[in-house]
Structure 1
Amino acid sequence: MTTEQKPGCSIHLPEAMITEQLKVLQVHARDNVLVALQPFAAGQALPAPYQTIVAKSDIPAGHKIALQPIAQGEAIIKYGFAIGKATAAIVPGQQVHSHNLATALSGTIAYQYAGCQAQPLTFPANLPTEFQGYRRANGKVGTRNELWIINTVGCVNRAAMRVAELARKEFAALLDSPNIDGIHAFTHPFGCSQLGDDLNNTRELLAGLIQHPNAGAVLILGLGCENNQLAKLLHASPNVDQQRIRAFNAQQVEDEVEQGLAAVGELLALMAQDQRRPCPVSDLVMGMKCGGSDGLSGLTANALVGRIADLVAAANGKVVLTETPEMFGAEQVFMARAENAQVFGDLVTLVNDFKQYFIDNNQPVYENPSPGNKDGGLTTLEEKSLGAIQKGGSSAVKQIIRYGKQASLSGLTLLEGPGNDAVSSTALTAAGATLILFTTGRGTPLGFPAPTVKISSNSNLAGRKPQWIDYDAGSLLRLGQDASEFTHEFFRYLVAVASGQQTRNEISDNREIAIWKNGVTL
């Protein structure tokens, strides 16, 4: 088993898996619990080298089993870190879960910066260094060439959807071109009756979408009287090719649908000239997200995505990780990898501000995991967070950005955002992610404007929901599987997706956005 683990490093599966099928896993040598990789019945002995331990009750896959006696009040260790304290004495073979384990988190924490502990990364010589992308006028590279319809306010949602529906029929011949990947309207209910930071968040988020490189052109549809005024939204979107933007207010034209169709026709004619060209993998921007996690997520899917994060960072690409509250209890792992004192300070502010957001709304800071997470074997927020941050790999944290802002530096960026799947994935897209890697143990059909690669933590989910899942990380636990080669194979697949291979969400046309509403409504 691995005896050392760098802060936030991807989980390293033991060499024993090469010769026999894994049934339990001690994630880190310091751990005092095992993870069941298959269900165990009461009275069943664990496999070697733990054959002296007998399951004291039925234990589902993904749940924890005590490896040694644990006294009441003693720390439960998983991933090499404490995930809470025992609320009762625990004996070897006993299930460790909500009935005998509770969070040890409370209140605020004093953080101190001791320098960046991240180690340099090297990009392997045997992996692709290019993908086929769309180079934009501003130098950014898209993985798709789509026409996006963005509305300023929910009042014109249906008009935006109607334009998209009719345009797909009217311009079917142009859409048959290999150079155009589709027309999509991304509607939302906001933009009116919002004030202050809440309105600004909506505007910043939409501006990020308007400037996204996967949008070969954008039609912006306003109403005219909304708080989120069209002129201000355009002003917040400076990094665009003005030839690829059309915008108007529905109140100021005779027929907004006909006006929209005419604009779409003009934009598609320009997009038809675009072609995929070789681009270095340093132009990739990958957003990392987990949703519906289970007890295996931190061991398989999140760990796999973390290895991809390191490959992209080593290639000078961009990696964006969000879900701020799912860093609680593990934030010091990232703080130890802050590239400098400024980034460290920004991260401390981000974490404390988000905790205050909970407090201001009279909500417990550590009310997590969800019921679905607990069914899958996760017990405390520390455990969930330590598994979730595996998606960030082991590279240095280069910058902290607020909700609605765009990643500007190569390497790992931490983005402010809630854990909600739709809100955080939309924020990743607005931050510039041209691919989203979405890990899940429970499954979800959700998809977003950027191609959304769904990675299952367990093979059962991949088998039951092939229409949702693009890649089965549960295969990491199969006989003879080599984790390094598995990661390299997955990276090659991601290069293919970046070059145009469709994901399940694209095939099923599951695409939507959600905006973080955190203020009053008039």
Structure 2
Amino acid sequence: MSTELKPGCSTKLNTPADIGEQLQVLQVHPRDNVVVALQPLAQGAALPEPFAQLTAQQAVPAGHKVALANIAKGEPVIKYGFAIGAATTDIRAGEHIHSHNLATLLSGQVNYRYSGCQAQPLTFPAGLPTEFMGYRRANGKVGTRNELWIINTVGCVNRAAMRVAEQARKLYSDDIDGIYAFTHPFGCSQLGDDLDHTRRLLAGLIQHPNAGGVLVMGLGCENNQLSKLLAASEDVDLSRIRSFNAQQVEDEIEQGLAAVEELVARMRDDKRTPCPVSDLVMGMKCGGSDGLSGLTANPLVGRIADLVAAGNGKVVLTETPEMFGAEQVFMARAQNEQVFGDIVTLVNDFKQYFIDNKQPVYENPSPGNKDGGLTTLEEKSLGAIQKGGSAVVNQVIRYGDMASQSGLTLLEGPGNDAVSSTALTAAGATLLLFTTGRGTPLGFPAPTVKISSNSSLAARKPQWIDFDAGGLLKKGQDAEQFSHDFFRYLIDVASGKATRNEQSDNREIAIWKNGVTL
């Protein structure tokens, strides 16, 4: 059985908002042989029109799937218009479809064929903001915050970096947007790709436009030598960088505070100025997805991706394993054959990473995803890629690289929330859009906007959630207007409105480790 996606096939989906009423179930695409329960269905309950001839054969939780027709063992189960796996037993119409009767069809690498770019041109709508208030840097990049970041070369100086940040905040909290130490356990006893990942990731953070000043703290004897890290941070204003090795100064805390004082003096007069939408860089991420993520939050973020791309801004999407089974949707939108080939390499290299480590490429979704209704990686991927909207894919970059092209960029990275969100930040994202069906308090160096896929999560965890995409399920809701309102909110965030992660001071980084430790 093949799950190949035919380039050029329509990926236009139905959404609850398109239909305009509070539904119990939704057929996401006209080709689907399943519907998704938007509310819990009791056993024996009749499905609403136009599926009233069916009754639920079992109790079905919200976010889970119900068969629209009889599906024989081995036949594909279709959602989003594509196969999300095959039935492992005969399934009757009205039956609950999940892990007990559906299995993935994914295996190893796939041969792909370039058929030209199928993406349609995008236009930026009239009436939406075309500017935000940002911090223009000397290299032309624009930050959404004016913060001082402390970056350490090695985990040995974590506590010293944190103490410098804690003491500096007491002295300078009214002068700039914030002072933060982003610590990690790496930088020593690393070799090869592992060391390269650490250095490139940290170099990306050092060059980030949200950091109006950066203090880089080293130890002195680590593999990730301070001089080499600074050399990898090419696109910086040297007047806004301070650095030292703790082994080479008498008191690293005093030295750090003196460096912070100099940087704050340099940053104090920085002002927000009007900047075009083309200066926005948004990173798109999902975590703790449920069965509604691909119907509400992810398509909403995809509409934002299209707006930013239409405004010549940058959109960065990562989580390579959560493209498996849906990668050909992106391949059909590759700008040219070179970008198409880069997508093929990105996907096949990541599959080989799984194979080399003797792991199946389909070892996903997580237990939380499954509880929320997601069954196979194909299903999760087809929902996850909705965050990329419908824009042309203009660029593919590797972990630790920075996005340089307007439009949609695919970034190599794992699905892990902390690792991939840090990679998005290091790639230059000055605003992160993080969709979730189950919630998480995680936050990252860039302002992290949490978007709930369902309203119950937003009501239960208001200290985590910034925006409720579950509002798309309300009767009469207009999806386009809803996305435009969200875009206006994001302009406010880019202009300084604090996100929940900022209010709670939830900020951290994580680095991808995939090699040997000495």
Q: Same fold (TM over 0.5)?
A: yes
Q: 5+ residue gaps in structure 1? A: none
Task: Give 1:26 deviation, angstroms.
Answer: 0.4
Please say if 1:115 is aligned against 2:116.
Answer: yes
- Find the residue that maps to 2:105 and give its secondary structure: coil
CA distance in 1, matches of 2:10, 2:317: 13
Cα distance per residue 1:74-120 (max 9 Å; x no partner): 11000001100111111111001111110111222110101010110
Cα distance per residue 1:171-200 (max 9 Å; x no partner): 3xxx224xx110000000000000111101
Q: 1:508 to 1:16 in 2, by over 3 A?
A: closer
Please say if 1:357 is aligned against 2:353.
Answer: yes
Task: Give 1:169 deviation, angstroms.
Answer: 1.3
In the alignment, residue 392 of structure 1 is paired with which amino acid?
G
Cα distance per residue 1:12-49 (max 9 Å; x no partner): 4267742x311110000000000000000101111112
CA distance in 1, matches of 2:457, 2:514: 34
Q: 1:121 to 1:6 in 2, by over 3 A?
A: farther
Aligned to 2:460: 464
Aligned to 1:206: 202
Please tell me whether the aligned partners of residues 10 and 393 of structure 1 are also in contact (alpha carbons under 8 angstroms): no
Aligned to 1:408: 404
TM-score of the superposed pair, with normalisation by structure 2: 0.98
Pairing partner for 1:482 from 478, 485, 499: 478
CA distance in 2, matches of 1:396, 1:9: 14
Aligned to 1:159: 160
Cα distance per residue 1:51-70 (max 9 Å; x no partner): 11111011000000011111
Aligned to 1:307: 303
Please tell me whether the aligned partners of residues 399 and 412 of structure 2 are also in contact (alpha carbons under 8 angstroms): yes
Aligned to 1:26: 27
In the alignment, residue 457 of structure 2 is paired with which amino acid?
L
Task: Give 1:170 deviation, angstroms.
Answer: 2.5
Moved over 3 A (4+): 5-12, 14-17
Please tell me whether the aligned partners of residues 10 and 303 of structure 1 are also in contact (alpha carbons under 8 angstroms): no
CA distance in 2, matches of 1:417, 1:255: 38
- Find the residue that maps to 2:126 and give its secondary structure: coil
Please say if 1:41 is aligned against 2:42.
Answer: yes
- Find the residue that maps to 1:150 and give its secondary structure: strand
Aligned to 2:90: 89
CA distance in 2, matches of 1:85, 1:121: 35
CA distance in 1, matches of 2:373, 2:9: 23
Q: Following superposition of structure 1 onto structure 2, how do residues 387-426 of structure 1 map, counting pairs within 5 Å?
A: 387-426=383-422
Task: Give 1:8 deviation, angstroms.
Answer: 8.1
CA distance in 2, matches of 1:395, 1:167: 43
Please tell me whether the aligned partners of residues 116 and 336 of structure 2 are also in contact (alpha carbons under 8 angstroms): yes
Please tell me whether the aligned partners of residues 10 and 306 of structure 1 are also in contact (alpha carbons under 8 angstroms): no
Aligned to 2:15: 13
Please tell me whether the aligned partners of residues 210 and 218 of structure 1 are also in contact (alpha carbons under 8 angstroms): yes
Cα distance per residue 1:459-495 (max 9 Å; x no partner): 0100100000000001101111000000000000000
- The count of aligned residue pairs is 513
In the alignment, residue 99 of structure 2 is paired with which amino acid?
S
- Find the residue that maps to 1:433 and give its secondary structure: coil
Q: 1:132 to 1:6 in 2, by over 3 A?
A: farther
CA distance in 2, matches of 1:264, 1:15: 50
Please tell me whether the aligned partners of residues 7 and 337 of structure 1 are also in contact (alpha carbons under 8 angstroms): no
Aligned to 2:321: 325
Cα distance per residue 1:191-247 (max 9 Å; x no partner): 000011110110000000000000000000000000000000000001001000000
TM-score of the superposed pair, with normalisation by structure 1: 0.97
- Find the residue that maps to 1:156 and give its secondary structure: helix
Please say if 1:386 is aligned against 2:388.
Answer: no
In the alignment, residue 159 of structure 1 is paired with which amino acid?
A
CA distance in 1, matches of 2:222, 2:489: 43
Q: 1:9 to 1:316 in 2, by over 3 A?
A: farther
Q: 1:303 to 1:11 in 2, by over 3 A?
A: farther
RMSD of equivalent CA atoms? 1.3
Q: Following superposition of structure 1 onto structure 2, how do residues 73-222 of structure 1 map, counting pairs within 5 Å?
A: 73-171=74-172, 175-177=173-175, 180-222=176-218
Q: Following superposition of structure 1 onto structure 2, how do residues 191-270 of structure 1 map, counting pairs within 5 Å?
A: 191-270=187-266
In the alignment, residue 287 of structure 2 is paired with which amino acid?
G
CA distance in 2, matches of 1:491, 1:434: 15
Q: 1:104 to 1:345 in 2, by over 3 A?
A: same
Q: 5+ residue gaps in structure 2? A: 1-6
Task: Give 1:7 deviation, angstroms.
Answer: 5.8
Q: Following superposition of structure 1 onto structure 2, how do residues 51-66 of structure 1 map, counting pairs within 5 Å?
A: 51-66=52-67
- Find the residue that maps to 2:513 and give its secondary structure: coil
CA distance in 1, matches of 2:143, 2:340: 31
- Find the residue that maps to 1:348 and give its secondary structure: helix
Please tell me whether the aligned partners of residues 10 and 304 of structure 1 are also in contact (alpha carbons under 8 angstroms): no
CA distance in 2, matches of 1:410, 1:8: 24
CA distance in 1, matches of 2:154, 2:170: 25
CA distance in 1, matches of 2:18, 2:444: 39
CA distance in 2, matches of 1:6, 1:62: 28
